[in-house]
Amino acid sequence: MKLPAPRAAEKQPDATAAEFVGRRVVVAKSSCRGLRGLSGLVVNESKNAFVLETPKGRKTVPKKGSAFDFGGILVQGDAIMHAPWDRLKKVKRQK
């Protein structure tokens, strides 16, 4: 008896192409010790940083040298050091 061929797994969306504003995040790693473990809602994003709304107010977290946990998906800050609109353009070109 021949077994059916396994189905190709659906391609998961690339986390580096995601829209991060409005999502909850935890700073998993940072070159600045005071930012490690910080959690909040991403309210703004620039090429080099996220602005998080935390219980203690707004905090700016640099992307360079940091890692972010978006609900179990770990994203390296160095991999997303683009302006949000440029990152989305890059993904569109790859399709």
The predicted-structure confidence for 55-89, as pLDDT tens digits, reads as follows 999 999 999 999 999 999 999 999 998 877 776 66
The answer to whether 52 touches 61, Cβ cutoff 8 Å, is yes
Per the structure, the count of domains in the chain is 1
Range of the domain at 53: 18-94
| CATH number for the domain harbouring residue 49 | 2.30.30.210
Cα separation values, 5 from 1, 2, 8, 9, 12, Å: 13, 9, 9, 12, 20
Percent of the chain predicted with pLDDT > 90? 63
- Please give the model's pTM, rounded to 2 decimal places: 0.76
